């Protein structure tokens, strides 16, 4: 009898669970002319207008003179914004590279702030943005650089049946901490929380704020935390959507269709070694994937104190994906296999 009541109670609980919320597409305004770029001077915010009329604000850094030989479309991480590339963009501009960093749907000043947009919408937005940038610079090398969650979105897009029309993919510590790396308790708790309390937003626990660092660049962490476009409290349904996206990235890392460089730091406390090792082992001997290990690197490789080393390696990979990196960074997986037990 007790067992039957337990089963009945569980069944009723599951029935009452709501599907985690995902932003619906917008309705384009009357007279919508299709995807286009709303221009702004270099260093100021314009916007990409995508298929459903959503405006995704961007920052652009361009060379002082002449046409860029390469153009980067930059994707920020979870709860971050286009300002994530405010240090890298000007540096790359000095090397003749133009960078467009945009607020992804649900973040920064893009539509649906704080609400999960879904993998399909996020990857479709990237495909549209790359097409717009490609049309603006048809003769340049076009690359996508994705940091953390931005790397997860890039992997999902480039491994899909409709990959963006780019020539290179650079992954800065991509998010690969998917459901298969969560552990039973954590995964089950989040699954239920996303369905029972999906619209409840929570900030990171005090111990996480105290003990986990994303970078050794403390001033940049402070700036990022004070940026009004950063999100500090995250809904449970958004967290669930993120974990699902990271599972896709973990499963499909070896399926990207352009030369891909994955960069990872030995001190990364956000995407920890276990999930990264699993993703790389799943990728196997991918013909398109190359990796780079940074002994002094943290999670925000793009903003660490040693970020200039990473910037230089990115430039080298854009010029020749097969050439040695200026830093001498070697493969990631052997370091992780030596340091972490197999799952």
What are 88-100's pLDDT values in tens digits?
Answer: 999 999 999 999 9
What was the pLDDT predicted at 112? 97
Range of the domain at 51: 39-339
Quick: pLDDT tens for 308-322.
999 999 999 999 999
DSSP string computed for 195-255:
HHSTT-EEPPPHHHHHH--S-S-HHHHHHHHH-TTS--SEEHHHHHHHHHHHHHHHHHGGG
Q: Does residue 4 lie within any of the structural domains?
A: no
234 forms bridges with which residues in the sheet?
202
Which CATH number covers residue 53?
A: 3.40.50.1820
Please state, rounded to an integer, the average pLDDT across all residues of the chain.
Answer: 93
Supply 143's token pair: 């690359």
Contact 47, 57 (CB under 8 A): yes
Quick: pLDDT tens for 148-202.
999 999 999 999 999 999 999 999 999 999 999 998 999 999 999 999 999 999 9
Distance CA 83, CA 94 (A): 18
Q: Does residue 12 lie within any of the structural domains?
A: no
Q: Does residue 33 lie within any of the structural domains?
A: no
Contact 110, 75 (CB under 8 A): no
Distance CA 143, CA 261 (A): 11
Q: Does residue 282 lie within any of the structural domains?
A: yes
Q: What residues contact residue 334 under an 8 Å CB cut-off, 6+ apart?
A: none
pLDDT of residue 342 exceeding 80: no
Q: What residues contact residue 173 under an 8 Å CB cut-off, 6+ apart?
A: 147, 148, 151, 263, 264, 265, 268, 270, 271, 297, 299, 300, 301
Least confident of 9-18, 52-61, 194-203, 259-268: 9-18
- Structural domains in the chain (count): 1
Cα Dmax for the chain = 79
Q: Does residue 294 lie within any of the structural domains?
A: yes
CA dihedral (248, 250, 251, 257) positive or negative? positive
Per the confidence metrics, is the pTM higher than 0.95? no
Q: Does residue 279 lie within any of the structural domains?
A: yes
- CA 318-213-20 angle, 5° bins: 85
What was the pLDDT predicted at 210? 80
pLDDT band at 7 (very low <50, low <70, confident <90, very high): very low
């Amino acid at each position: 009898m007790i067992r039957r009541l337990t089963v009945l109670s569980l069944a009723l609980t599951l029935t009452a669970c709501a599907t985690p919320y995902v932003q619906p597409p917008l309705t384009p305004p009357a007279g919508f002319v299709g995807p286009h770029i709303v221009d702004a001077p270099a260093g100021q915010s314009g916007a990409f207008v995508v298929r459903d009329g959503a405006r995704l604000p961007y920052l652009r850094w361009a060379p002082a003179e002449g046409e860029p030989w390469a153009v980067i479309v930059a994707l920020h991480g979870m709860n971050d914004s286009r300002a994530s590339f405010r240090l890298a963009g000007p540096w790359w501009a000095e090397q003749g590279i133009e960078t467009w960093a945009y607020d992804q749907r649900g973040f920064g000043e893009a539509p649906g702030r704080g609400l999960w947009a879904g993998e399909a919408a996020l990857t479709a937005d990237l495909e549209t943005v790359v097409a717009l940038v490609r049309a603006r610079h048809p003769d340049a090398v076009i690359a996508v650089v994705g940091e953390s969650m931005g790397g997860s979105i890039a992997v999902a897009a480039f491994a899909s049946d409709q990959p963006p029309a780019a020539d290179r993919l650079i992954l800065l510590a991509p998010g690969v901490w998917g459901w298969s790396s969560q552990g039973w308790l954590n995964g089950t708790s989040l699954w239920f929380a996303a369905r029972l309390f999906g619209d409840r937003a929570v900030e990171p626990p005090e111990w996480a704020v105290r003990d986990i660092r994303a970078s050794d660049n403390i001033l940049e962490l402070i700036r990022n935390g004070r940026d009004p476009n950063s999100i500090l409290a995250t809904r449970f349904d958004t967290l669930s959507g993120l974990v699902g996206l990271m599972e896709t990235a973990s499963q499909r890392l070896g399926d990207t269709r352009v030369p891909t460089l994955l960069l990872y730091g030995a001190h990364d406390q956000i995407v920890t070694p276990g999930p990264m090792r699993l993703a790389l082992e799943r990728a196997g001997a991918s013909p398109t994937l190359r990796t780079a290990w940074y002994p002094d690197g943290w999670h925000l490789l793009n903003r660490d104190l040693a970020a200039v080393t990473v910037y230089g390696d990115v430039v080298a990979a854009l010029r020749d994906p097969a050439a040695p990196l200026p830093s001498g960074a070697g493969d990631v997986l052997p370091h992780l296999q030596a340091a972490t037990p197999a799952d």
